[in-house]
């Protein structure tokens, strides 16, 4: 017997919880200001570039 696929909303909520756990569990993510951009199934980590004033 086939198992019914999970609703998309349930999958998205699980992914959001996993990403939040990662962000809160790794202190350097917040310290470095790393941001995440999710588009569909793709997740991109963004490390903003900022020049130091001379």
Q: Report domain extents, the chain.
A: 1-34
Label residue 10 by pLDDT band (50, 70, 90): very high
Expressed in percent and rounded to 5, the helix, strand and coil fractions of the chain are 45, 20, 35
Torsions phi, psi for 4 (to 5 deg) = -70, 135
Q: What is the mean pLDDT of residues 17-31?
A: 92
- Which region among 1-5, 34-38, 49-53 has the lowest average model confidence (pLDDT)? 49-53
pTM of the shown model = 0.68
Q: What does the block give as tokens for 12?
A: 């998205």
Please give the C-alpha separations between residue 35 and each of 6, 9, 12, 47, 48, in angstroms, as whole numbers.
Answer: 28, 22, 18, 7, 8
């Amino acid at each position: 017997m086939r198992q019914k696929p999970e609703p998309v909303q349930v999958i998205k909520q699980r992914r959001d919880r996993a990403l939040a756990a990662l962000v809160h569990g790794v202190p350097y993510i917040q310290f470095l200001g790393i941001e995440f951009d999710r588009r569909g199934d793709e997740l991109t980590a963004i490390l903003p570039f900022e020049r130091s004033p001379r």
